[in-house]
A and B are shown apart, each in its own frame.
Chain A
Amino acid sequence: MSSVNHTGRAVQAEQLSRRFGDFTAVDGLSLTVEQGEIFGFLGANGAGKTTAIRMFCGLLAPSAGEAWVDGLSIRTQSEEIKRRIGYMSQRFGLYDDLSVRENLEFYGGIYGLGQAEIHSRGEALLARLDLAEWGTRRTGSLPLGYKQRLALGVAILHRPRILFLDEPTGGVDPVARRAFWDLIYEVAADGTTVFVTTHYMDEAEYCGRVSIMTAGRIAALDRPAVLKAQWGAKDMQAVFLRVVSA
């Protein structure tokens, strides 16, 4: 397995599994994501997406198999992985009692950025995320779409090479979702790899490639256009329904 050339790949998983007691949440997952891709990690509820992402981010140990993130082993180099990736979890993990700016400063500190860099990078991000006017607002009082943009800002503060986004647009209105995807494209244009989960099938179309998981395994993986042709479906919604019900 170690003979596989995983260097240069953003994410490579080989027979990755995770069990909870006698239940297998991720069941022999293998996939490769190249640097710079926008990869859509789709699947049914409970399919194992969040569990897999937590393993890639070095937050959860695998029960079997191995994966490399930016060429680093999730088993032995998880601390180094955490410095190279950004992670936006299904629940944002922002501090509600801190202001928008304080959240950026706090996380900047965690990532070990210096004061000057936190300041310059933070202000640049606030402007880019259209949050400059909101800098002093208590994070808990922000509308959902703003919190979600701030969570993205926090995740890219330290210029990660790979960005893991777990349902970043859950519950967000159609206008704010489009605006958020414009930001994802901007981040990807800088060369960052984006690994994203979503239950909005129009967003699946915005990804270069997507995988669809059911019960811990990948049931389909390709470019959206190829999957639509393969499954004789007019859009990704129809592909998803067919793959998951198959």
Chain B
Amino acid sequence: MSPVLELTGLARAYEGRPALRELSLTLEAGHTLGLIGPDGAGKTTAMRIACGLLTPDQGSAKVAGLDCLTQARQMRALLGYMPQRFSLYPDLTVDENLRFFAELHGITAAERHIRREKLLAFSRLEPFVKRRAGHLSGGMKQKLALACTLIHEPRLLILDEPTTGVDPVSRQEFWALLGELASGGMALWISTPYMDEALRCDEVQLLHLGRVIAQGPPAEIARAFPRRILRFPGLAPAALTPLLAGLSGVTVHRFGHDLHVVCDTAQEDALRERAQSAGLEVESEEPGLEDAFFELVAVAELAA
């Protein structure tokens, strides 16, 4: 059987400026694939090609074996897509929007009621079903857009940064719902700026300047991190500067209330010595996906 989504050697430029240089992937039923990368890496371009909304300069896109360009109509019946800017009907209420999208996809009334309950639960929009969409808050609109996309349960769901503006509680509930859909056999392709969401995918691809610079299960990408990370608990950022004097290539990233000092093994020895003579505490930190993101993008940037 063909994979649910298969992209082969996709490339696309806008007015001579390449947006996507080379992207290939296969996605099977029941799997979740994450797409991460800096702004302008080509994520939206890739998703629009897979939805048959944009013609690639090179390569091919297939959904369940159907060509996304020449068999677009049959292909779209299998697909749910939420673009970065999804348009709701501002004059329709929350309920009317849900109903409109359900009818658009030919969903029976009985089925619609079951799904409506689930979607209103994750989105916490139940008290607001009679409110006009135009009067919702930013995050509430985003959650209604998600609910409208999920009201038809397609074989493939493509979501372009679906949780922008969504609060931490709803993000958690939204991912629980995605987990249920994937267990039911749906294939999910999701772009996100949240590394905690990327960690919940079976696999991720890191896109940079239109090319995949890392891919695999997220935990493995983090594990392959080639350098060392140190933390100095309780140390103010300003106090770190003298500690790093003369050590070139050491990078520092803020992580919430912590600083991650990224260095090589030789530099680690030097830093530990300096910390000891200054009477400072030092701890090693396990690299996470976000550390890997910074490192891989920085290396790719130097090579570009």
Contacts and interface: CB of A to CB of B under 8 A. Distances in A.
Contact of B137 (A46, A177, A224): A46
Interface in A76-104: 90-91
Interface stretch (B99-107, B164-172, B270-278): B164-172
Given A45-B137, A167-B165, A170-B138, 9 more contacts: A45-B167, A49-B137, A171-B161, A173-B38, A199-B168, A200-B194, A240-B167, A244-B167, A244-B169
A181 B254 contact: yes
A235 B196 CA distance: 14
A177 B39 CA distance: 11
Interface in B255-270: 255-257
12 contacts: A45-B139, A45-B167, A46-B139, A47-B137, A167-B138, A172-B193, A173-B39, A173-B193, A176-B38, A236-B256, A240-B168, A241-B169
A144 interface: yes
Contact of A145 (B39, B84, B255): B39
Nearest to B290: A174
A12 interface: no
B168 A237 contact: yes
B172 A241 contact: yes
B262 to A, nearest CB: 13
A197 B90 CA distance: 24
A90 B138 contact: yes
A46 to B, nearest CB: 4
A173 B170 CA distance: 20
Interface in A172-189: 172-178, 181
Interface residues of A, number: 41
B124 interface: yes
A44 interface: yes
Nearest to A244: B169
Contact of B167 (A43, A91, A143, A174): A43
Interface stretch (A3-11, A151-159, A201-209): A201-209
Nearest to A202: B256
Contacts of A144: 39-40
Contact of B136 (A44, A46, A181): A46
A49 B165 CA distance: 12
User: What are the 10 tightest A-B residue pairs by CB atom distance, in nearest-first order?
Assistant: A45-B139, A143-B40, A205-B256, A171-B164, A143-B39, A202-B256, A46-B137, A145-B39, A205-B257, A173-B38
B189 interface: no
A50 B290 CA distance: 29
B73 interface: no
A205 B255 CA distance: 9
